[in-house]
Structure 1
Amino acid sequence: MASPKLSVIIPVHNESACIGPLWKRLFPVLDRIGPSWEVVFIDDGSRDDTLDVIRSLSRTEPRIGAISFSRNFGKEIAIAAGLDHARGSAVVIMDADLQHPPEMIEAFVERWQQGYDMVYGQRTDRSDETRVKRGFAHLFYRLFARFGEIGLPEGAGDFRLVDRKGVEVLRTMGEKARFSKGLYAWIGFKSTGVPFAVEERRIGTTKWSFRKLFRFAFDGIAAFSTVPLRIWTYLGFLISFLSIATALYFLIRTLLFGTDLPGFPSLIISIMFFSGIQLMSLGIIGEYVGRIFAEVKRRPLYVVAERIGGAAEVSNSLVPESYQQRRA
C-alpha cells in the first residue's frame, strides 16, 4: 500500500461501546481532509469485544487497521506501538472516548500545512475535575517546569499531530518507563497549541484512578530529572548540620547546668524520624535502580498477538520480526 498522508492512532482498552460513536464523528472529518488517510487502533489487551468491533469496521473500510497486544501493556506503550506502525506523513494521536473531539483534527492539519511539526491540543479549562485534582495537576506542571530537563505546555496531552520526522525520532526511543508528554517536548521541533474543551465522557468510565495518575506523574518527573535523588543528598547535609548543632547545644548546656535525666520519648521519636528518612531515601534510589534494571534487560516494549487490515502493516525494520505472529 502507498503511504497515506495522514495516520490516526487510537489506543483502546475495553472501549467497544465507544468505537461506533467515535467512527461516526471521525469518518466525516477524515473524508473532508482527503482520501489519503489510515486509522490504526491499538488494542491494549482488551477483555471485551473491542477487537471484534474493530474487525467488523475494517471489513467495510480497508483504511482501518489494528494492532492487538498479547496482554495489557499500558497506554504509553500503546502509543509507542502506534508510532511504530503508522505510515502517514503526519500522525494524529487521540483517545477513543470522544473527550478528544475528532473535529479538531482539521485544525491540526491546517497548522501542520502552515509549517508546524508538532500541533497539540491544549486544554482550556478543568472545570469538570475536582478542586483537588486540579490542584495536583497545576502542582505537577510547576514541579516539572522547575526541576525537569524541559518545560511542558500546561494543558497539553497526548491529543496532537506529529510530523513524520518527529515520529521517526520518537521511534528510536525504546525506554520502558515512558512519559510521552515529556518525549514530545524533548524532541523539540516547531510546535504550536490549539485550544479545545474536553468533552464529557458519555460512554464507559475512565481507566485513570488517582493512584495511577500519581504514579504517572512520578514517572514523568523521574524520567526527566534527577532532583528526587539530589533532594536526599541535600536533606542529608541538612540533618547532619542540625545534629552537629544539637550536639553543641547539649554539650554547652551540660557544661553549664549539668546532665539532665535522659528522655525516653524523645529518643524513640528521633530513632523513628531518622529511620523514616533513611527508608524514604532508599525507596527513591530503588525507584531509579528499578528503572535501570528494566532497561538493561532489553525486553521488547510490547508483543503483538494479531494484526488486522492492510493499514496495520509494519512500516520498516524498527519493529522486530518476532513481533509478527499472526495477521487477520
Structure 2
Amino acid sequence: MSDLRKIVSIVVPFFNEGSNVELFAQGLVPILAELTDISFEIVCVDDGSTDDTLARLVALNKKDPRFRIIELSRNFGKEAALTAGIDHARGDAVIPIDADLQDPPELIAPMIAAWRAGAEVVLARRVDRSVDPPMKQHSAAWFYRIYNRLSHLKLPENVGDFRLMDRVVVEALKSLTEQQRFMKGLFAWVGFRTVTLDYQRRQRASGTTKFSGWKLWNLAVEGVTSFSTVPLKVWTYIGLAGALATAAYAIFIVARTLIIGVDVPGYASLLVAILFIGSLQLVSIGVLGEYIGRIYMESKRRPTYIVRRRHGGNDEG
C-alpha cells in the first residue's frame, strides 16, 4: 500500500444484528472495491449483543481483515458504541453508518468526492422517509422543529449519523469528554466546512429496529437537555406569570371584600387551584431534576464505554 494513499474508516455499531452481518458486508464490500485509490478499514462495534452477532463479526474478520471488531463489555447504547468506533478509527476520514443498510453504501463514493473537493463534513440528508412508520416520520419532524426552537445549536433536519468527517473533525469530537452523549448534537457543535448530499432511505435489510418509542423519547430529552437550558428558563417565566396572576387575584379579592363583605369561598375552585399549582410545581421539579441528574452523572467521570476485547488489526487482545 502506498504511503500516500488515503485511508477511510467505516464505523458500524452492531447490537443484535446477527442476521444483518453478512448482508451488510455483501452490500458494502463491492462498493469499496470500486474505489481503488482509497484504503478502507471497517470498524465494527459489538455493543453487548446477546445473539450471534459477535461470532459472525469475528468470522467476517477472518475472511476480510479490513473488518476490525471492537467488543464492548456490555450494552452501553448506540451513542456510546458510536463513540467507541470513532475513537478506534484510524482513517484520514471517518464514515459512521448503520448495519441495517437503510443508509445506502452507494453514497460513500460521492461523499469521498466531496471530501476531496475540500469539505470537512459531508452530511447525508434523507429526502424521502416513506419506508419509516408514519408515527416515526411525524415524531422525527416534531423533534427537529421543537429542538431547533429551544436550542441555539441548530440540527440539520432529517440528517442522522450517516456522514463523512475529516480527521480534524474526528479529533475535535474526541476532545469532547462528556459521558451523557447526544452524538447528533456533538456533530453539529464542532462545526467545520460542511456540504450536504440527499438520498432516499431504504427498508431494513433484515431484522427490526432496536429503538422503541420510549428509547426515542429518552434520546430526544437527552438531546434537548444537552444543548439547551430553555426548559429551565420557561419555568422562571411560568412562575412569574403565576405570581402576577396571584397578585391580581388577591387585589380583586380584597376589593370585593371591602365592597360586598366576606362570603364563603367555593370548595371546587380551591381544590382546582391547589391541584393546578401543585402539578406545575411537580413538573418544574422534574425538569430541574433532569438537569441535576445530568450534573450528577457527569460528576462521576465514568468512561463512556469499556472494551472487552479487540479482534483484528494490530491491537487484538
3-state DSSP class of the match of 2:34?
A: helix
Report matched runs for 1:1-328 at 5 Å: 5-34=7-36, 36-310=39-313, 313=315, 327=316
Letter of the structure 2 residue corresponding to residue 291 of structure 1: R
Contact 2:125 2:196 in 1 (8 A): yes
User: In the superposition, relative to structure 1, how do residues 157 and 302 fare at CA in structure 2: closer, same or farther (>3 Å)?
Assistant: same
Q: 1:68, 1:88 → 2: CA distance?
A: 19
Letter of the structure 1 residue corresponding to residue 42 of structure 2: V
User: In the superposition, relative to structure 1, how do residues 128 and 254 fare at CA in structure 2: closer, same or farther (>3 Å)?
Assistant: farther
The CA RMSD over aligned residues, in Å, is 1.6
3-state DSSP class of the match of 2:285?
A: helix
Contact 1:45 1:73 in 2 (8 A): yes
Contact 1:4 1:87 in 2 (8 A): no
- What are the superposed Cα offsets for residues 59-94 of structure 1, whole Å, 9 maximum, x if unpaired? 111111110111100000111111110000000000
> With structure 1 as the length reference, what TM-score do the two structures score?
0.92
The answer for unaligned runs of 5 or more in structure 1 is 314-326
- What are the superposed Cα offsets for residues 245-289 of structure 1, whole Å, 9 maximum, x if unpaired? 111112212222222222112111111111111111111111111
> Which is worse superposed, 124-133 or 11-20?
124-133
Contact 1:4 1:38 in 2 (8 A): no
Q: 1:254, 1:208 → 2: CA distance?
A: 59
Q: 2:159, 2:177 → 1: CA distance?
A: 23
Letter of the structure 1 residue corresponding to residue 15 of structure 2: H
Amino-acid identity (%): 44
Q: 1:301, 1:235 → 2: CA distance?
A: 36
| Residue 321 of structure 1: aligned partner | none
Contact 2:7 2:40 in 1 (8 A): yes
User: In the superposition, relative to structure 1, how do residues 4 and 41 fare at CA in structure 2: closer, same or farther (>3 Å)?
Assistant: farther
Contact 2:131 2:202 in 1 (8 A): no
Q: 1:18, 1:223 → 2: CA distance?
A: 32
The answer for unaligned runs of 5 or more in structure 2 is none
Letter of the structure 1 residue corresponding to residue 19 of structure 2: A
Q: 1:12, 1:149 → 2: CA distance?
A: 32
Letter of the structure 1 residue corresponding to residue 231 of structure 2: P
- What are the superposed Cα offsets for residues 95-136 of structure 1, whole Å, 9 maximum, x if unpaired? 000101111111111111111000111000232344443333
Shift of 1:11: 0.2
Q: 1:182, 1:153 → 2: CA distance?
A: 10
Aligned residues: 314
3-state DSSP class of the match of 1:47?
A: coil
Q: 2:111, 2:278 → 1: CA distance?
A: 53
